[in-house]
Chains A and B, each alone.
Chain A
């Protein structure tokens, strides 16, 4: 009887100890997160002190962001929680073929010269702040401004949701459940809204640069530790282990075994990035043209380095440690799972900071971009005489409204993490790529062509994504772009050419600036 009581006490003690350890993990995770959050708050405060109370300063940082920060803010607006958190899982499932998405992203270096530089020149000259500013001037159409803005605002909501889901799941897993999903989502949402409301674009650019350094360091540190602690033979041992049970992941397999499959993901996750609203508006941020020169060569290397790290985490380490047996939902939490099971607890805290930094750096940019679009493209059109303070108040209220819409999507969580962006948001944003490129390089492009092409492309994306895709290997984004480009070119050719003043305002101005003035 006495022995039985002692046994019960030991069992009870063990269970208390276990609970204490789990609670301790939660506390350490919150402390780690707290340190990063304090850094972000400090940056917001610095940005706020430098800010002027104008919408241009609030939305595009007064066009004063230097080259290093521009690269940081663009890179981190692309590398979101989807990258830090979703990509290891996606490359675990799909193998190295998934890197095609990053290959598409490398094109951003070329876009910096061919698109962003031109948008920057136009933005400086005419005070552009949103994608709709350029589109409505080039296509002499308020209707096309509305279409552009609605696409940007509606399809950005699930993308922001993906950031919150990614970060909150990461924190929940890393803290062994002691910080709940909704507590983490609440902290992230409150800090993010405050950060955007208080500091605006300048604060976001500061925080993105900080997140960039933190994220790259954490990603590399995780690979180094998991690899050296678990595989004495290094990557060669990992490779032979992976080849023994999952040779397909180290080659282009499944959807990515065909060129069309590869092209689909590279356009959706990479080449079309420039048409994502929060990336588009960054063209207006730069202080000088040197930024675009640096981006042209730095970005492809940076993009490929970072995403190759995610491939090593997913296709190599993930497959070597877990074999081929993880179910898709579990692969969505592959990184924190791997780190919590195969490395010291300190790395779990680093994962939390990394996922939080990546999620926030993208979500805050998206939140600010959508509120600038709502203010400039919708509120200003409906109420042209509004004062600066009224306009800023409207933008800030919309940030709160958008955040509520985002949390609603988070509550339902209808898809796998990467699907929010690459299967839904990005294909829709990509429909703005033909009118963007055509608007800068094709003088014959007309508003009728742009409107018809974009609407047809968008309908094609939605039908092939949600109703029926006649050839499943062809990604919806490709169907959309194919029909979009055909309609855009055909209708532009049969409708009256753009007015002379539009050509002078956009094309002749750019030619003069680039080729004559240098």
Chain B
């Protein structure tokens, strides 16, 4: 029973973090600085790539809690 409760709590924490990351990738980008990285990647574009990696890691962690 306590395992179920802790899985539910961890899932809720992960969902809260995912919401923050979704805001990072779907609302904040225009307000970020836009210096060029590696000579060709604007930071606002790099932010989308970082966002995708973060979402991938969080999705994996969430799947581990919910899908057994």
Residues of A within 8 A of B (CB): 96-97, 99-100, 102-104, 106-107, 109-110, 112-114, 117, 234-236, 238-239, 250-252, 256-259, 261-263, 266-267, 270-271, 289, 292-293, 296-301, 303-305, 308, 311, 316, 514-516, 518
Contacts and interface: CB of A to CB of B under 8 A. Distances in A.
B63 A296 contact: yes
Given A103-B48, A515-B7, 19 more contacts: A100-B29, A103-B51, A103-B52, A104-B26, A110-B59, A113-B62, A236-B39, A251-B44, A252-B29, A262-B27, A262-B30, A263-B26, A267-B26, A292-B67, A293-B63, A297-B59, A300-B56, A304-B49, A316-B40
Contact of B62 (A102, A106, A262, A296): A296
A96 B44 contact: yes
A261 B30 contact: yes
B19 to A, nearest CB: 10
B4 A308 contact: no
23 contacts: A99-B45, A99-B48, A103-B51, A106-B52, A109-B55, A109-B59, A110-B58, A110-B59, A113-B59, A113-B66, A117-B67, A250-B45, A252-B34, A258-B30, A263-B26, A293-B63, A296-B56, A299-B59, A300-B52, A300-B56, A301-B53, A308-B45, A518-B68
A314 to B, nearest CB: 13
B13 interface: no
Nearest to B5: A515
Q: Is the interface of B mostly helix, strand, loop or mixed?
A: helix
Given A106-B51, A109-B55, A262-B26, A297 B60 contact: yes
Contact of A303 (B22, B31, B52): B52
B16 interface: no
A107 B27 contact: no
B10 to A, nearest CB: 12
B34 A251 contact: yes
Given A109-B56, A515-B7, A100 B63 contact: no
Contacts of A297: 56-57, 59-60, 63
Question: How big is chain B's contact interface, by range?
Answer: 35 or more
B13 to A, nearest CB: 14
Of the listed residues B28, B49, B66, the one surrounded by the most CB atoms of chain A closer than 10 A to its CB is B66
A513 to B, nearest CB: 10
B25 A97 contact: no
A235 B40 CA distance: 6
A300 B55 CA distance: 7
A106 B57 CA distance: 12
A106 B55 contact: yes
B48 A308 contact: yes
